[in-house]
Amino acid sequence: MKPCTTLLLLGLFALFSCTPKPPAPLFPKGTWIDLTHNFDENTIYWPTADDFRLDTVFAGVTDSGFYYTAFNYCAAEHGGTHLDAPIHFAKGHQTMDEIPLDRLMGNAVVIDVSAKAKGQPDYRVDVADFLAWEKEHGKLPDGVIVLLRTGFGQYWPDKLKYMGTAERGPAAIAKLHFPGLHPEAAKWLSTQRKIHAIGLDTPSIDYGQSTHFESHQILFKEDIPAFENLANLEQLPPTGIWVAALPMKIKGGSGGPLRMVALVPEEK
């Protein structure tokens, strides 16, 4: 073999042997599910909170001949698909910008109580519901994010069906009816299990008729944030999912708009 041929072969060998392998996929193959309702004129807010508003700054062709669109928006922290930070009901606890990211992303499970909540707008998810789920699927893993499917997401954005009333103002609060988490279950989750966060498809982690918001208080004293007004929970299986819940990072905020997604891996 000629020297030049040997050098060429050695060069090609070195080239291909050093070619980096394609990176491994960050996530398994699967389907991404959006758990977020649109923010628009139909977005549901607490009866005493300001509604979402989108004001046009400019939309069209500028004097310079190019197209340009910009808006101003205004909204309360707590409305639409949003996150409740612990400071919301626990003095001195985490604000929006202080919640660790590992509380907002990770493995999740779905506790489906929609059959029980059907026709019972004041239903509260209790310890028995969690124990029944664990009997079928095993103990809730440490660090898991718990999602409660009450079935009320199907009523969005009909305020009367979703909240029990379409009225506005302080007097409307007494007319709220929707499922939530029983305080005893909140205590059990925060003392007997080690969850990172909890969310559901209703306006509040406490049921509509709550007057002291005990579940908020119990969870938030343990820095367990809550996701409210979630969408599309019916598209998720009870286990094997991964979620990311990244809210607007409002410094010192007690809550804020949330974009939350779930990955449902392909079945093998």
Tens of pLDDT, residue by residue over 186-211, are: 999 999 999 999 999 999 999 999 99
In a domain, 193, yes or no: yes
pLDDT at 254: 98
Residue 96 lies in a domain: yes
pLDDT digits (tens, 9 = 90+) for 9-22: 555 555 555 556 66
Cut 0.85: pTM above it: yes
Q: Distance (Å, rounded) from C-alpha 110 to C-alpha 193?
A: 15
Q: Are 212 and 204 in contact (CB under 8 A)?
A: no
pLDDT tens figures, 153-185: 999 999 999 999 999 999 999 999 999 999 999
Q: What's the whole-number average pLDDT of the chain?
A: 93
- The answer to whether position 104 is within a domain reads yes
Q: Which tens digits make up the pLDDT trace of 104-153?
A: 999 999 999 999 999 999 999 999 999 999 999 999 999 999 999 999 99
Q: What is the CATH number of the domain that holds 184?
A: 3.50.30.50
Among 261, 258, 259, 262, smallest CA distance to 237 is for 262
Cα 95 to Cα 37: distance, rounded to the nearest angstrom: 23
Burial status of residue 217 (CB atoms within 10 A of its CB: 0-12, 13-18, 19 or more): middle
Identify whether 15 is part of a domain: no
Counting residues of the chain whose pLDDT is more than 90, the rounded percentage is: 88
Residue 44 falls inside a structural domain: no
Q: How many domains are there within the chain?
A: 1
Query: Which domain, by its residues, includes 151?
Result: 30-37+78-265
Q: Output the DSSP codes for 102-116.
A: GGTEEEEEEEE-HHH
**Rg (alpha carbons) of the chain, rounded to whole number:** 24
Residue 13 lies in a domain: no
Which residue in 76, 61, 115 sits closest to 234, CA to CA? Answer: 115
